[in-house]
Amino acid sequence: MRALQLPAWHSDAVVVDLPIPTAGPGQVVIKIAGAGACHSDLHLMHMMSDGMFPWGPPFTLGHENSGWVHEIGAGVEGLSIGEAVAVHGPWGCGACPQCILGMDPYCSNQAAAAGDGAFGGGLGLDGGMAEYMLVHNARHLVKIPGNLDPIAAAPLTDAGLTPYHAVKMSLPKMIPGGKVLVLGVGGLGHMGVQFIEALSGADIIAVDTKQEALDLAVACGAEYTVNSGDADAAAQIKEITKGRGCDVVLDFVGVDATIALGIASSRIQGDMTIVGAAGGTYAYGLYTAPYELNLRSTYWGSRSELAEVLALAERGDITVTYTKYGIDEGLQVYKDLEAGKLKGRAVICP
């Protein structure tokens, strides 16, 4: 089969020929419908080095995956050949308190996970940018409901699940008439806007540097837009909130500038969650942020939350914006992603 593989750290991906995997006990092989391209894949290519993780390349990329059950290993129950499924991307040990709750991203015994500590398919183990993918434990699969297109389900496993989890954490503060600030309206941010719109009565202020992204935010439900390239962006946000600040800030970029803008735009006792993985920092202290501002980061979401995201999509409450590409176009997809040329999400469809 054809696969898009990361051959080494600090290198671009390459298309290779690999044998089709087979399912061992407790495992499932799926025929891939789609695999989403993510900014974190660029981090794997260009920012990681030996020793940073207990695993490393070569491995097939793609941690946003969906498809159809192709082969079922011994002992697996509740699945049938040809059934449409989405893959919960983070793979934990399955036994710690976090994993028992389906919150594998926060596994407290990652060394016991599949692949000697690998984070999952496309993150140390072979992912979904191939014709077939081996899922090391059937519990990582979530059935795709109703008539939801499996290709559309692929980016929902991360670009949908990650913002959904972040939104749910702050739902009590997303009150009718309140203000929620969304920083960055890309692959994750445009989904975040839709979840806020679907789950709360709060007004959404969308911030981005590109007019195309701000237009997308409005189409997804945002009431206000601010271009973060404007020198008075923080002042514009304060004016929208009548000087009070935002109840909730979701930063889908995560660089120094967006974190600083988010904190400057927050209210006392507000929430700010850093979702974007760009690696920015902030000198957080008693006098550098509003009092009792909850500043936190987040990583992915739970299996049960993935089922909720798929249900919202099947019902039509959310729609992921994506473009389909072939495996041989994968390298160009990542170049376009790095250059900021993609609208929404790119999905590799073998």
pLDDT in tens, 156-212: 999 999 999 999 999 999 999 999 999 999 889 999 999 999 999 999 999 999 999
Q: Are 301 and 159 in contact (CB under 8 A)?
A: no
> What structural domains does the chain harbor?
2-143+320-348 (3.90.180.10), 163-297 (3.40.50.720)
Helix (H, G, I), strand (E, B) or coil at 16: strand
Question: Rounded distance, CA 150 to CA 156, Å?
Answer: 10
State the pTM of this model: 0.94
Residue 19's pLDDT is what? Answer: 98
Residue 94's pLDDT is what? Answer: 94
Residue 90's pLDDT is what? Answer: 95
CA angle, 80 as apex, 77 and 81 as ends, to 5°? 135
Residues in the chain where the model's pLDDT stays below 70: none
> Please, what sign has the CA dihedral across residues 104, 22, 25, 7?
negative
Residue 23's pLDDT is what? Answer: 98
Residue 278's pLDDT is what? Answer: 86
Task: Look at the block and give the residue holding tokens 């183990």.
Answer: 125
179-183 and 14-17 strand pairing:
unpaired
Element (H or E) spanning 151, and its range? Answer: helix 150-155
Strand order in the sheet with 2-6: 14-17, 2-6, 59-60
- Name the phi and psi angles at 131, rounded to 5: -75, -30
Q: Are 212 and 193 in contact (CB under 8 A)?
A: no
Residue 342's pLDDT is what? Answer: 84
CA angle, 56 as apex, 53 and 61 as ends, to 5°? 115
